[in-house]
Amino acid sequence: MADPTPTLVVGFDLDMTLVDARPGVIATCEAVTRETGVAIDGPLAASRLGPPLEVELANWVEADRVDELAEIYRRHYPEFGVPGSTAMPGAHEALAAIRAIGGSSVIVSAKSSRGVADTVAHLGLDVDATLGGRFAEAKGAALATYGADVYVGDHAADMIAARSCDAVAVGVCTGMTSAAELRAAGADVVLVDLTEFPEWLASHMLSIRLAALDDRLRELESVVVAFSGGADSAFLLAAAVRSLGVDNVIAATAVSPSLPAAELAGAAAFAAGLGVRHVTPATDELSRAGYRDNAGDRCFFCKAELLDVLAPLAADLGMRYVATGTNADDAKAGFRPGIRAAAERGAVTPLLDAGLTKSDVRQASRRWGLATWDKPAAACLSSRIAYGVAVTAQRLSRVERAETALRVALANAGLAVRHLRVRDLGDRARVELDAGLVDAVKARPDLLEVIAGFDAVELDPRGFRSGAMNELLVDAERWR
């Protein structure tokens, strides 16, 4: 399947969009006046930046001298214009935001190609390509050759350029064109300045990815969603219902000793709220030696068990696919054997296919009003047991009781906890909780006394962090 969210290409105008060129323009005009005797009002000329240089010079000399003065102006610009230019507020951050999502940026400007290139180099603007000597529709033609998806500019002609190549037209009110004039010229969105661009870009990319998710789900036609009740699978379930309707979606929550009882109740309530059928098949991870042995690949056997149960269930229920909540961040993580097991068994990953990250899932969940938008990560109970320590039903139950008791104790002490893990290291337990609570709990050792069944209980001074058990695995591999 082709990538539904290809690399985004963002085009920018230069003067008064990325760069405040006015001081340099004024200084260059003064240099031209000194050389030629032609009185050019630099501040006035600088207030009309946007159109090609020749358009401005026609206000000061006869038509037959325009080319002559343009040549002189461009000869002086590297000395006076470039050093006088400064980056607009938010310019570097806007370009960095594009780079952060794997996008590319190009500058297409009415300024001469040399003037653009020299200014970009002087200010260290992180762009992939530059092109000068283009205005209005000519800009649009150039943008089309770069495959620009978005064009950002401060002038009405920039909005015309974007429209002419079917790019999203983003206006910034840092030039002489008002927000109303930018909208009248075709702006899809108007920003005060580039400091607002990263937030807009994130929202724009989320919309693109949500559209890709809808397309992907419609391709699948019907799905059983492997629904743990966490933020990712909850969002996927809600998206599937939106795209396919409740008759073509089933939520399946696997019931086993590794699932906390509270998670099952929450999953049932969430599915009921969507009006989707919720099934709770039993899985038996503990019957798999690789799961019980709890080596670094434990999650492979857990996910294998899940898919080996859900795949025939989906077929029996007339659903075409089993879908998991794997997101784009999961695929980049260095150690996810469960993803491999699911892929080998034909599970589909709509969130990953659409390029949705964990942050995207939370933002979209909030946009849709889903209660799970800020739900803390809730990995299965087996993730609390240190690698190399056998996973048993008794250990899983011990961890669940310990976490439940500690949450109650913290609440009674007036300490609101968001992230909490009781790690089973064999004979001792290690408690991880929100870093901001570590000192408070350290000062109240009696709170940890509610944790029963371990020879010793220790508090991790570093606080909670996802994947802490993988740190032990990496350390072990390093010293082999």
Q: What is the pLDDT of residues 190-224, one digit of tens each?
A: 999 999 999 999 999 999 999 999 999 999 999 99
For residue 477, the model assigns a pLDDT of 43
Instruction: Put residue 124 in one of left, alpha, beta given phi > 0 → left and psi -120 to 50 → alpha.
Output: left
| pTM of the entire predicted model | 0.83
Distance CA 351, CA 158 (A): 35
Separation of CA 258 from chain center: 30
- State the chain's mean pLDDT as an integer: 93
Q: Tokens 């599937």 — which residue?
A: 240
pLDDT of residue 296: 85
What is residue 127's predicted lDDT score, i.e. its pLDDT? 97
pLDDT for residue 479? 29
Q: How many helices (H) and strands (E) does the chain have?
A: 21, 15
**List of long-range contacts for 367-374, beta carbons under 8 Å, 24+ apart:** 367/206, 368/235, 368/238, 370/234, 370/235, 370/238, 371/270, 372/229, 372/230, 372/231, 372/234, 372/235, 372/270, 373/231, 374/231
Q: What span, in angstroms and rounded, lies between the C-alpha atoms of 361 and 377?
A: 13
pLDDT value at residue 468: 62
pLDDT in tens, 74-121: 999 999 999 999 999 999 999 999 999 999 999 999 999 999 999 999
For the chain, the maximum distance between any two Cα atoms, rounded to a whole number of angstroms, is 95
d(CA 35, CA 158): 33
Predicted pLDDT at 147 = 96
CA dihedral in degrees (303, 306, 312, 315; nearest 10)?
A: -90
Q: Determine the average pLDDT of the residues in 326-352.
A: 87
Closest CA to 358 of 334, 331, 333, 329: 329
Rounded CA-CA distance 79/86 in Å is 14
Is the predicted pLDDT of residue 469 greater than 80, yes or no? Answer: no
Q: Residue 364 is encoded by which pair of tokens?
A: 């979209």
Q: Is the pLDDT of residue 467 over 70?
A: no
Closest CA to 324 of 261, 242, 237: 237
Please give the single-letter amino acid code of residue 325: G
The per-residue pLDDT for 478 is: 37
Residue 476 has pLDDT above 80, yes or no: no
Its CATH architecture, for the domain 9-17+87-202, is 3-Layer(aba) Sandwich (3.40)
Strand ranges in 14-156 using DSSP code E only, listed in sequence order: 19-20, 86-87, 104-108, 129-131, 150-153
Q: What is the pLDDT of residues 223-236, one digit of tens each?
A: 999 999 999 999 99
DSSP character string of 79-93: HHHHHH-EEPTTHHH
pLDDT value of position 5: 52
Mean pLDDT of 368-394: 91
**pLDDT, position 106:** 98
Intervals of CATH 1.10.150.240 along the chain = 22-84
Residue 298 has pLDDT above 70, yes or no: yes
Superfamily of chain region 221-374: HUPs (3.40.50.620)
The arithmetic mean of pLDDT across residues 173-177, rounded, is: 96
What are the residue ranges of CATH 3.40.50.1000 in the chain? 9-17+87-202
Please check the confidence at residue 380 and state whether its pLDDT lies above 90. Answer: no
Architecture label for domain 22-84: Orthogonal Bundle (1.10)
Distance CA 232, CA 222 (A): 18
Range(s) of the chain covered by CATH 3.40.50.620: 221-374
Beta-ladder partners of 459? 431
Which letter does DSSP use for residue 32 in this model? H
pLDDT of residue 377: 80
Rounded distance between C-alpha atoms, residue 212 and residue 451, angstroms: 46
Residue 2: band (very low, low, confident or very high) from pLDDT cuts 50, 70, 90: very low
User: Do the strands 428-433 and 420-424 form a parallel or antiparallel pair, or are they unpaired?
Assistant: antiparallel
- List helix spans (H) across 134-276: 137-146, 156-164, 179-184, 197-220, 231-244, 261-274
Looking at residue 6, what is its pLDDT?
A: 58
Q: How far apart are CA 463 and CA 450, in angstroms?
A: 19
The confidence band for 7, taking pLDDT boundaries of 50, 70 and 90, is confident
Burial 319-333 (b: 16+ CB within 10 A, else e): bebbbbbbbbbbeee
Find, among 304, 353, 358, the residue nearest to 330 by Cα: 358
**Rounded Cα gap, residues 309 and 371, in angstroms:** 28
CATH 3.30.300 residue spans of the chain: 381-478
Total number of residues shown for the chain: 480
Between helix 231-244 and helix 197-220 the angle, nearest 10°, is 60
Q: What are phi and psi of 175, to 5 degrees?
A: -105, -150
For residue 379, the model assigns a pLDDT of 79
Percent of the chain scoring above 90 in pLDDT: 88
**Mean pLDDT (whole number) for 36-49:** 96
- Helix axis angle for 261-274 and 231-244, nearest 10°, is 20
Report whether pLDDT(471) > 70: no
What number is the average pLDDT over the span 353-379? 93
Q: How high is the pLDDT of residue 96?
A: 98
- CATH of region 381-478, choose from 3.30.60, 3.30.420, 3.40.50, 3.30.300: 3.30.300
Contact 56, 45 (CB under 8 A): yes
Distance CA 419, CA 431 (A): 11
- In sequence order, which residues have a C-beta less than 8 Å from that of residue 159 and are 6 or more positions away? 153, 169, 171, 182, 185, 186, 187
